[in-house]
Amino acid sequence: YKLMMNYCLSGHPTLPCNVLKFKSTTIMLDCGLDTTSVLNFLPLPLVHSPRLSKLPGWVSKDGTVNLEKELKECAGRVFVDSQPEFCLPEKELLDLSTIDVILISNYHCMMALPYITEHTGFTGTVYATEPTLQIGRLLMEELVNFMERVPKAQSATCWKNKEIQRMLPGPLKDAVEVWTWKRCYSMQEVNSALSKVQLVGYSQKVELFGAVQVSPLSSGYSLGSSNWIIQSHHEKVAYVSGSSLLTTHPQPMDQSSLKNSDVLILTGLTQMPTANPDGMLGDFCSNLAMTIRAGGNVLVPCYSSGVIYDLLECLYQFIESASLGTTPFYFISPVANSSLEFSQIFAEWLCHNKQSKVYLPEPPFPHAELIQTNKLKHYPSIHGDFSSEFRQPCVVFTGHPSLRFGDVVHFMELWGKSSLNTIIFTEPDFSYLDALAPYQPLAMKCVYCPIDTRLNFHQVSKLLKEVQPLHVVCPEQYTQPPPSQSHRSDLMLELQPPPMPYRRCSVLSLPFRRRYERIHLLPELANSLVPSEIKPGISVATVSAVLHSKDNKHTLQSVPKPPPVPPTKKRKRVIEEPPEVLAPKPLLSGAVPLEAFLATLHKHGITEVKVEETADGHILHLQAEDTLIQLEEDGTHIVCDNNEPLRTTLRDLVLRFLQKL
Amino acid sequence: MPEIKVTPLGAGQDVGRSCILVSIGGKNIMLDCGMHMGYNDDRRFPDFSYITQNGRLTEFLDCVIISHFHLDHCGALPYMSEMVGYDGPIYMTHPTKAICPILLEDFRKITVDKKGETNFFTSQMIKDCMKKVIPLNLHQTVQVDDELEIKAYYAGHVLGAAMVHIKVGSESVVYTGDYNMTPDRHLGAAWIDKCRPDILISESTYATTIRDSKRCRERDFLKKVHETIERGGKVLIPVFALGRAQELCILLETFWERMNLKAPIYFSTGLTEKANHYYKLFITWTNQKIRKTFVQRNMFEFKHIKAFDRSYADNPGPMVVFATPGMLHAGQSLQIFKKWAGNEKNMVIMPGYCVQGTIGHKILNGQRKLEMEGRATLDVKLQVEYMSFSAHADAKGIMQLIRMAEPRNMLLVHGEAAKMEFLKGKIEQEFNINCYMPANGETETVTTNPSVPVDISLNLLKREMALGGPLPDTKKPRTMHGTLIMKENSLRLVSPEQALKELGLNEHQLRFTCRVQLQDPHSDSDTLHRIYTHLKSVLKGYTIQHLPDSTVMVESIVIKLSSSAEDPNTKVLLLSWSYQVIDLSYSQLLLNIRKKLTCSR
């Protein structure tokens, strides 16, 4: 058994970060950034907010701890007043500079990339598909922009002190890994990190150091999203990250290529196992229409790429029937335009229906038409053109879904006080109650329609039955029902053998039965082999060759002929090293049949043979030659005095009857 | 010996109707399926009867691969698949799949509607043919079947053009289609990795040309257009709707902008806008610069270039018109040419290669009187300029590609014989590889020498690596021994011991024993000890043991001694060894013992 190690650097099941050590290569699988930590921070308002600027500071009840500069009380909760911070993957478990490659599965799972590749000594290569790179860049750019638009000089650190944190009210008190929390990276770091990305296409085979081959497969979740196969000639690891079997815009999931893996690492299942995406989409539309008809505005906090394309497509079909033809739809993000434009140029990565549209040639997504007919308008921010063109009632799509930064903060302040307005949550990454906490009390209606198209437990168990991995590795969360629904045993993975669970900082040794390695016989050697049939359909050939190993590739070549020796030395050498010395001898198998052997001896002039039967076979006395041959089932013994030519003859005659291995 | 066969049905020592058959590892592949624009008869299409005299091609071909949308590479496809008959897979990139049917339909219309030819493929056949197309993505490894895999590389040339790597087992062929090795205004340069194919099949259109720098050619082009406009003349640029046209449009658009020119630029036929739309949707196939800026400014939205109407050709004053098709063999470009040919103030700029038989080819060869249909002749007075804007690799580019891919053999197609001959010489000289240039219908056979992949047991490999180290000592190579087990399709190399065990065989021991008499006055044990110490002193580097059961072992050779009771001085030395002993021979050993003690029979 050869062990393969898996280091688990993230405990978040949908924002994974694992490191695989496999055949002397170190491969990081995704580097998700856990942004749920920002819920502990105060929102960053784009426009001066009297409410948020006059919040009381926090002092412990007994007055001994005074953190009024760092912590503010808002709507009955305590929030950190500083630039929001993210929870990074674990950096202490292994030396990040030893990572050879990073494989990215989708744009949501690469947001921690600059933290991994910058200032860590990382010198490797990052592999991602083109849509993943381009949209990932947009999402990072947006994040940086959101942060830099509202600069906060203060960095709060005192509250992180273990002694102090213990005394804080929840949920701050229970926040974990707070010392690893970091502020957002800069655009310069993003550019540097992304310059290390090498683009790959689905089913492209990428060789790593000659030892391992990696290949991305369509995962059906988002534009360019992929699962990965990591394999050598005899071992196969499947890495399944966010995958979807629903027919939305991306190319369908490639399931068959996952078959027959030794280990399948399973991450990125749906975060909403009980919410049906189609039903949610229906709820979304009806709540939206209801609010607009009543004269209210609709706010949709969302990411700038992904489900928003499906929402817009759904609305495109829905607008006319719901007579929303005159309602303005706004998409506000520093990358709104780019996201909409990019979505139209990745035909190769789309589902069949959308792909065939570009053959007409028509843009694959109908939001092009919404923009052309002025139904959908996009703006980089609430400032500038938007403020003069903005009409109500309207629908606004904007970020960030955590409600802590971005243009959405402004709309929360603007529309929160009216019960006519509705906020519809569609992104599943944040608890909507926590997201809303600093805005309470709210008059605005809240609708929760999380749309998570990733695999649910039912789909995944069917998939695993189909692809039959020998072992499954997954986050520990998947091995038990969710805490809030502990009776639902259908909301967990039940497999035989049971999956190997991991949590943040786990190091797993994966069982690997590695018995063979690929080697190439050079043509000259291959042509010189003499196969002989041992059993029907099975032949063997003895191979004597010289091994060459370079860059993890092995070849065998014929044994080179010894270089010609100058004639003067030759004689001496022959005496010292008879050529026989170098010749290799195979193992022998079979038995020597008595009658046939006697006949052969006879043919060679050995006629005086006395045969004596023994317990295990026969003894042949070659009387003229004064030689004994003992023939047994599994052995032949030639007892012959110092007569080299005779011995050689007898040897060769015996060998005729035996198989050589 | 395995071999690869290559037979061009078209484009063998010729440009036009590209169609190359490759047989590799028992698979047959058709590369491109083009038409020849210089002919109107049977020679227009490749001679598919070469493949089979009667009936459909499906069972003779494993797949068809189309490199790009130019008609000399895909123009015969509906004829082949629908009229001759082929139902297997046809591979091409997404942009080719999108654009190819439009050009085919265009071509069909000119041939059937304008020339009135019958017995030609129909619109429905084009549609049915395209249904058999499987789109290819760049760098994706496509498994055509269990053994045959193909992979596309970026070729530049036109939108969606691809080179293709075809692999069966460890044998492979690369077909370049048409390619260019320098990025232009809208496309990037061709690229391939060091895939070391057995044969690289390359186009050789510009086999003898080393083109001057791109900038100079552009400046030249703009100067000529500008001068003609200045003197009030009209400029006709015959182009194909997609490809060169977009590059020249970008060039003129920026020039007009910079020089603030007012003369109108037109683009003929309704294809223009549609064509530009394809470029917008397939922007990932254009060059780096266009891709980077497309959100801010889409290079394919032109301000100065407007749609052309037939009546404009008679308008007075200067103008520039891009018209299709590119070789002046039919359609709108030919109509405009006829109108403008008589005026020496006008100019026609041929931006690409023209095949023999077309008017484009004739006027480029200096012909000033053209015979038109119905015995009319046309005097060509306008200026004729040729600008090599076709995005083909020049000689330098072809050599560059050879350096990238490192092929074992080279095969030239899509060029003129004399020029190929020249390039062939250069390639053979510089790279010391064979270069072939078969004519149409001629088969070139290349024997390959593939290494054989085998699975070696890890135990055996590890043991060998531990003993020998990763690199063999060239002076004293270590020989490794194993047994290759061939069972069904698997080849496994294991240690002989493991092979015996796996195959359920018993080992057969073959031993030899030799008796030697010698005289020695010492006791048996002393004699043995003397032998032992002597061997120990002369056979350095061998393992020699004196075991308690009165045996001496030299490596695995056993030496025993006995003497009869009646004559204790006469000893019998027993040497026993197995067949496998290779370190030391019996005779060598005996020689050494003899040196010390007197032996006799």
CA B452 to CA A525: how far, in whole Å?
Answer: 9
Structural tokens at position A17? 């970060």
| Mean pLDDT of the A375-401 span | 95
Tell me what pLDDT residue B598 has: 60
Structure tokens at A420: 């006519």
State which residues form the domain around A184: 4-268+455-510
Between residues B379 and A1, which one has the greater pLDDT?
A: B379
CATH fold of the domain at B3-210+391-447: Metallo-beta-lactamase; Chain A (3.60.15)
Could you give the number of structural domains in chain A?
Answer: 4
Question: What are the pLDDT digits (tens) for B3-32?
Answer: 999 999 999 999 889 999 999 999 999 999
Q: For residue range B47-104, what is the model confidence (pLDDT) as tens digits?
A: 999 999 888 999 999 999 999 999 899 999 999 999 999 999 999 999 999 999 988 9
| pLDDT tens track for A193-217 | 999 999 999 999 999 998 899 999 9
Higher pLDDT, A599 or B594: A599
Q: Is A351 on the interface with B (CB under 8 A)?
A: no
The pLDDT value recorded for residue B474 is: 58
Residue B182 pLDDT: 87
Contact B483 A586 (CB under 8 A): yes
Pick the residue of B484, B490, B555, B587 with the most A CBs within 10 A to test the interface with A by mutation. B484
Q: Over the range A273-292, which residues count as b (16 or more CB within 10 Å of their CB) and which as e? A: bebebeebbebbbebbbebb
More confident residue, A569 or B449: B449
Indicate the pLDDT class of residue B271, thresholds 50, 70 and 90. Answer: low
- The verdict on a CB contact (< 8 Å) between B461 and A641 is no
For residue B312, name the pLDDT band (cuts at 50, 70, 90): very high
Residues A327, A349, single domain; the answer is yes
User: What's the pLDDT tens digit per position in A214-263?
Assistant: 999 999 999 999 999 999 888 999 999 999 999 889 999 999 999 999 99
Judged by CB atoms within 8 Å, which residues 158-187 of B form the interface with A? 170
Query: Domain check: are A72 and A221 in the same one?
Result: yes
Residues of B serving a catalytic function are 203
DSSP state of B113: I
- Is B477 within 8 Å of A546 when comparing Cβ atoms? yes
Q: Is residue A398 part of a domain?
A: yes
- Mean pLDDT of all residues in chain A? 91
In this structure, the answer to whether residues A470 and A534 fall within a common structural domain is no
Q: Chain A window 600-639: which residues touch B at a Cβ cutoff of 8 Å?
A: 633-639
Per-residue pLDDT tens over the stretch A524-572: 899 889 888 888 889 999 898 888 888 888 899 888 776 665 555 444 4
Considering CB atoms only, which of A519, A589, A642 is closest to B514?
Answer: A642
pLDDT score for A567: 57
Integer Cα distance of B147 and B151 in angstroms = 13
Q: State residue B469's pLDDT score.
A: 59
Residue B461 touches chain A, beta carbons under 8 Å: yes
In chain A, residues with a C-beta closer than 8 Å to the C-beta of B601 are: 641-642
CB of B515 within 8 Å of a chain A CB? The answer is: yes
Contact A130 B499 (CB under 8 A): no
Q: What is the pLDDT of residues A355-374, one digit of tens each?
A: 999 998 899 999 999 999 99
B460 touches chain A (CB under 8 A): no
Which of B151, B281, B515 has its CB closest to that of A361? B281
Task: With a cut of 50, say whether residue A626 has pLDDT above it.
Answer: yes
**CB–CB of A544 and B492 under 8 A?**
no
Look at residue A21 in the predicted model and tell me its pLDDT: 92
Chain A neighbors of B509, CB-CB under 8 A: 588, 634-637
pLDDT digits (tens, 9 = 90+) for B236-263: 999 877 777 888 888 899 899 999 999 9
- What pLDDT band is residue A578 in, cutting at 50, 70 and 90? very low
Chain A interface mutation, best of B105, B165, B279, B479, highest count of A Cβ atoms under 10 Å = B479
Q: What is the pLDDT of residue B518?
A: 80
Q: Give per-residue pLDDT as tens, B526-572.
A: 888 888 888 888 887 788 888 888 888 888 888 888 887 788 888 88
The nearest alpha carbon in chain B to A205 belongs to B141
CA B9 – CA B31 distance, rounded (Å): 10
pLDDT in tens, A239-252: 999 999 998 899 99
Domain membership of residue A34 (yes or no) is yes
CATH (domain of A221): 3.60.15.10
Residue pLDDT, tens place only, A303-319: 999 999 999 999 999 98
* B128 and B164 Cβ atoms separated by less than 8 Å: no
What pLDDT, in 10s, does the model give residues A600-620? 999 988 888 899 998 888 999
* Residue A121, domain member (yes or no): yes
A648 inside 8 A of chain B by CB: no
Give the percent of chain B with pLDDT over 90.
50
CB-based contact (8 Å) between A550 and chain B?
yes
How distant is the Cα of A253 from the closest Cα of chain B, in angstroms?
16
Whether A569 maps to a domain, the answer reads: no
Gap from B455 CA to chain A (nearest CA, Å): 5
ipTM of the complex model: 0.85
| pLDDT at residue A454 tops 80 | yes
DSSP letter for each residue of A506-536? -EEEEP----EEEEEE-HHHHHH---EEEET
DSSP letter for each residue of B262-329: -S-EEE-STHHHHHHHHHHHTGGGS-HHHHHHTTT--TT--SSEEE--GGGGG-SS-EEEEES-TTSS
For residue B39, pLDDT over 60 is answered with yes
The answer to whether the beta carbons of residues A215 and A229 sit under 8 Å apart is yes
A365 and chain B in contact, CB less than 8 A: no
Is residue A133 domain-shared with residue A57, that is, in the same domain?
yes
What distances in angstroms separate CA A303 from CA A148, A300, A399, one per listed residue?
Answer: 18, 10, 6
The domain defined by B511-599 folds into TATA-Binding Protein (3.30.310)
Residue B46 neighbours by CB under 8 Å, 6+ apart: B9, B10, B17, B19, B33, B34, B76, B80
**Any chain A CB within 8 A of the CB of B138?**
yes
Domain shared by A319 and A220, yes or no: no
Number of neighbouring beta carbons within 10 Å of residue A453: 25
Q: Nearest to residue B89, comparing CAs of B50, B49, B137, B143? A: B143
As a whole number of angstroms, the distance between CA A81 and CA A78 comes to 9
* A33 min Cα distance to partner chain B (Å): 27
Any chain B CB within 8 A of the CB of A204? Answer: yes
Residues in chain A within 8 Å Cβ distance of B582: 581-585
Residue A552: the pLDDT is 81
Total-model pTM: 0.87
Residues 127 to 166 of A: which have CB under 8 A from any B CB?
130
Chain B interface, best mutation among A199, A355, A365, A547, by max B CB count within 10 A = A547
Q: Is residue A188 domain-shared with residue A331, that is, in the same domain?
A: no
Question: What b/e readout covers B123-143, taking b as 16+ CB neighbours within 10 angstroms?
Answer: eebbeebbebbebbbbbbbbe
Q: Which residues 98-137 of B have a C-beta within 8 angstroms of A? A: 98, 101, 135, 137
Asked if B196 has any chain A CB less than 8 Å from its own CB, the reply is no
In this prediction, residue A580 has a pLDDT band, given cuts at 50, 70 and 90, of: very low
Strands B452-457 and A516-521, bridge-based pairing: antiparallel
Neighbouring C-alpha atoms within 13 Å toward the C-beta of B129: 29
Are residues B414 and B161 in contact, defined by beta-carbon separation less than 8 angstroms?
A: no
A189 plus A332 within the same structural domain: no
Is A475 found in the same domain as A405? Answer: no
Q: What residues have CB less than 8 Å from B444, skipping those under 6 apart?
A: B5, B6, B7, B411, B436, B438
Three-state DSSP at A243 gives: coil
What is the average pLDDT across A172-183? 91
CA distance A379 to A389: 10
Which overall architecture, per CATH, does domain B214-386 show?
A: 3-Layer(aba) Sandwich (3.40)
**Residue A566 maps to a domain:** no
A121 touches chain B (CB under 8 A): no
CA within 13 Å, CB half, B195: 26
Closest in A203, A555, A589 to B505, CB measured: A589
Q: Report the helix count and the strand count for chain A, using DSSP H and E.
A: 18, 34
CA angle A123, B141, B405 (to 5 degrees): 70
Is A565 part of any domain?
no
CB-closest option in A234, A358, A546 to B478: A546
Query: Are residues A20 and A128 located together in one domain of the fold?
Result: yes
Q: Do A641 and B515 touch (CB under 8 A)?
A: yes
**Model pLDDT for residues B218-238, shown as the tens digit of each residue:** 888 999 999 999 999 999 999
A579 within a domain of the structure (yes/no) = no
Same domain, A75 and A200: yes
> Does residue B451 belong to the interface with chain A, where contact is any CB pair within 8 Å?
yes
C-beta contacts of A363-367 below 8 A and 24+ residues apart? A363/B281, A364/A249, A364/B281, A365/A249, A365/A309, A365/A312, A365/A313, A365/A340, A366/A312, A366/A313, A366/A316, A367/A309, A367/A312, A367/A313, A367/A316, A367/A340, A367/A343
Look at residues A397, A419, A448 and tell me which one is the last residue of a structural domain.
Answer: A448
What is the nearest CA distance from B53 to chain A, expressed in angstroms?
Answer: 36
Could you tell me which of A223, A203, A222 has the C-alpha nearest to residue A214? A203
**Alpha carbon distance A48, A349 (integer Å):** 43
**Cβ proximity of A438 and A43 under 8 Å:** yes
Convert the pLDDT of each residue in B134-161 to its tens digit. Answer: 999 999 999 999 999 999 999 998 899 9
Half-sphere exposure of A592 (CA within 13 A, CB side): 30
Asked if the structure places residue A567 within a domain, the reply is no
CB contact under 8 A, B601 and A200: no
- Touching A: B residues 466-485, CB under 8 Å: 468, 470-472, 477-485
DSSP 8-class letter at B507: B
B178/chain A closest Cα distance in angstroms: 22
Nearest Cα to Cα of residue A193 among A110, A280, A270: A110
CA distance B1 to B7: 19
Strand partners, B166: B150, B173
B301 to chain A, any CB pair closer than 8 A? The answer is no
Domain borders along chain B are 3-210+391-447, 214-386, 455-503, 511-599
List the single range of A55-69, A380-394, A411-425 with lowest mean pLDDT: A55-69
The answer to whether A553 contacts chain B (CB < 8 Å) is no
Closest chain B residue to A541 measured between Cα atoms? Answer: B484
List b or e across B314-343, with b for residues whose CB sees 16 or more CB atoms inside 10 angstroms.
eeeebbbbbbbbbbbbbbbbbebbbebbee
CA closest to B298 among chain A residues: A341
pLDDT at site A56 = 93
Co-location of A261 and A379 in the same domain: no
Query: Are residues A65 and A214 both part of a single domain?
Result: yes
Q: What is the DSSP letter of A376?
A: E
CATH number for A403: 3.40.50.10890
Q: In this complex, do B510 and A642 lie within 8 Å of one another by their Cβ atoms?
A: no
For the segment B488-508, the average pLDDT, to the nearest whole number, is 89
The answer for A 56-75 residues in CB contact with B (under 8 A) is: none
CB-based contact B137 A337, cutoff 8 Å:
no
Cβ contacts from A onto B, under 8 A: 259
Of A205, A519, A559, the CB nearest to B493: A519
- Chain A CB contacts of B485 below 8 Å: 538-540
